[in-house]
Structure 1
């Protein structure tokens, strides 16, 4: 698939349909991120720790099943996995407005749906990241990842304001019903992709644990991927702590309504939309390696601004923090995912994606529970300050790694490593990809 004039990959039928499906899914997910905690806090009167536990339930599947999902995705076609995940999430989230309609909705159902939908998200995200190089090839990964990251930005802006006002005007169950429909819409677009996907070759002697171990060894044996994993895991642990208590902080300490919360989030998250448009340009100007570690440092600075938020003019700190963190999160995400896709051989990509997701999203339920516990013991504002300091300190993973000495992240020849390639671990050597050594 090649770029054809203005619009780039969006001129290609199959990528365009993948992009639209992803946008629909992201919009719905953002609505739920706003609506589920508001439903718990406002309608079901959840405590600080109960609200944090709900955030933990949404991401617990990454911790429990992430590695297995990667090994299984490497054996399957990716598009059917994404279709099943979308349909499952449609049914699960659709149960919440039905229960609310009959007056039987409670926190246990919210926890169950959040966890089960999280399983679908683990499989969808692993398959989605693995599918992209198969669909567009590796030469256009920066553009492809930037286009998909723009969906996160658009969804963050639209979902934030839309979710806040939908909850305020029509109640949280209505917002969640719209989220459920968005997954069905995503599945319909995925079903219209024309390009056939060959079935991946299966190992002669499939051993799930051995295959999982191969992906883990590759990540931690490759110094750049190991640094990215350590940085992202630490950032997302404390980002989850921040997010788990943020809604409680804004409602109970800053005394904001859902509509105002959504509006403020929209203004701040415009930074993410700008980042999606500018990441490619920034990477070309600064170099991909420099852009990666600089965005991580600035991300920590942004998180340190959140605890300054207060009523009145103090809301400006929340807007500034949201804009800076959203901009840098998207830049860091695009470059980190692209590095992973470029450094990993095709046959390991699902397992490497799952390993990285375990190191990132797998820590989020633990971070959410830590945020709830710290917020209960030491106060919400103090917890936000501790989270910000930790996110800033996490930049040391990259600043002290080989990434700091590079202008651009290394690229390698993209021929795959054969399944029978000899190594001590039974697979590709972590510092060699496609038969060519990765150099700094």
Structure 2
């Protein structure tokens, strides 16, 4: 007798997906505040220069270069939901230590570097486990729609989080604003704990060595005709875009003398653009297919990034903000289409290692970009660093042209 599986429930009726979504909403809202507040801690409270801000960016992302690859193999050996809960709580403690040290008049750059680095290690494991858990929560048939909602929500939150971050920093100070992030991680852990989808223990079978499993994940990405171009393009883009993003706080506050809230509003405009891109992603894939979406959207949107190094005060800031909005729409589309594409072409047994390999490349690239930003900004100038990043990011999408034309 053949049993026909029931169709997957609509996402809005999937209670576990709603819990995962809500956990992400709460966590990411705090994260968007710290995205702006932590660099401003270094700039305003600790008088950090371009090189020190660049080092802070490295500290927050270098964990992917250190443990990114083995993390995928480790996550495939553990209960994914448990990993998410533990790492959420760890990040809450680490970020809470920043305002505590500030209130005690004991905050230093070394402590800030250490807290951000350890939180980055926790983020490695959380992100790998989160992406690997999603297919079991929503089913592979609903991955594109689920990722569209997750990325779209993330972008919407960046509007409220980033635009409010500048005002929050001005009101209570940058170190205290980071406390918002810490509280967000606690609530995220509580909602992840309520997910009822079975968090099955890994099968107790004879496993190859950890190194062999890591190599299997790398080989899968390197040989797959879809994953390989996406990996190369994403890595190049993150290196170059990270240069621009790392220098923005220095450029706004130190170079142009603008108040912190203007940077929050500027980043919020980008969040709105990313939200629009995420909302349109499914329609674009339906009309163009995945490959053409991943090539045509950056062709149209990425050149607008070249406006950003021309930033200045006055009315021109509004013009550049519009260009930033258009450019950011590309990232909303990419995140939905690219993530869903990667999950759909990867067997469940390799999801953790594939995600870890991709995040190792993508987030490790952010660390490289942050380091380059600090070096260029310190030894040349901040505007020079932004031009290098903008030009590089504008052409970083070209490797996706290598995706086979037969791929839809």
1:249 Cα shift? 0.7
Task: Give the TM-score normalised by the residue count of structure 1.
Answer: 0.89
Aligned equivalents of 2:133, 2:324: Cα separation in 1: 31
Cα shift readout 1:331-352 (whole Å, capped 9, x = no counterpart): 1111111111111111011001
**1:205/1:282 Cα in 2 relative to 1: closer, same or farther (>3 Å)?**
closer
The corresponding residue for 1:254 is 256
More RCO (CA 8 Å, sep 6+): 2
Residue of structure 2 in register with 1:75 after alignment: 77
Q: Does 1:323 align with 2:325?
A: yes
Show structure 1 runs of 5+ residues with no match: 409-440
Q: 1: CA distance between counterparts of 2:344 and 2:327?
A: 26
Cα 1:298–1:307, aligned 2, differ >3 Å: closer, same or farther? same
Cα deviation, residue 206, structure 1 = 3.6
Residue 402 of structure 1 pairs with residue 396 of structure 2: no
Q: What are the residue-to-residue correspondences of 1:109-120 with 2, within 5 Å?
A: 109-120=111-122
CA–CA distance in 1 between the matches of 2:12 and 2:373? Answer: 40
What is the rounded CA distance, in whole Å, between the counterparts of 1:215 and 1:407 in structure 2? 22
**1:223-270 deviation line (CA, Å, top 9, x unaligned):** 210100000000001111111111101112222101122122223321
Structure 2 vs 1, CA of residues 24 and 88 (structure 1 numbering), >3 Å: closer, same or farther? same
Q: Name the CA distance, whole Å, in 1 between partners of 2:202 and 2:170.
A: 47
Q: Secondary structure at the match of 2:62?
A: helix
What is the 5 A alignment of 1:298-337?
A: 298-337=300-339
Q: Does 1:24 align with 2:18?
A: no
Residue 88 of structure 1 aligns with which residue?
90
Kindly indicate whether residue 127 of structure 2 is the aligned counterpart of residue 125 of structure 1: yes
Note the C-alpha offset of 1:303: 2.1
| Residue of structure 1 aligned with 2:285, choices 270, 283, 286 | 283
Whole-Å separation in 2 of the counterparts to 1:50 and 1:202: 46
| Inter-partner Cα distance in structure 2 for 1:305 and 1:2 | 47
CA shift for structure 1 position 302 = 2.9
1:247–1:211 Cα change, 3 Å = same
The reply to whether residue 365 of structure 1 matches residue 367 of structure 2 is yes
Partner of 1:186: 188
Task: State the alpha-carbon separation in 1 of the partners of residues 320 and 346 from structure 2.
Answer: 38
User: Structure 1 164/301 Cα, relative in aligned 2: closer, same or farther at 3 Å?
Assistant: same
2:178 & 2:395 partners in 1: Cα distance? 36
Aligned residue for 1:411?
A: none
Contact map agreement 2:27 2:185 (CA 8 A) in 1? yes
Q: CA deviation at 1:3?
A: 5.9
Within the candidate set 220, 223, 226, 2:225 is matched to 223
Equivalent of 2:109 in 107, 114, 129? 107
- Conserved? CA contact 1:48–1:245, under 8 Å: yes
1:197 CA drift (Å): 2.0
The equivalences for 1:407-426 within 5 A come to 408=408
Assess if the C-alpha contact under 8 Å between 1:236 and 1:361 holds in 2.
Answer: yes
Q: Which residue in 2 is equivalent to 1:424?
A: none
The equivalent of 1:412 in structure 2 is none
Is contact 1:68-1:208 (8 Å) kept?
yes
- How far apart are the structure 2 equivalents of 1:267 and 1:148? 19
Q: Map residues 168-247 of structure 1 onto 2, 5 A cutoff.
A: 168-247=170-249
Q: CA deviation at 1:300?
A: 2.7
Q: 1:202 to 1:255 in 2, by over 3 A?
A: farther
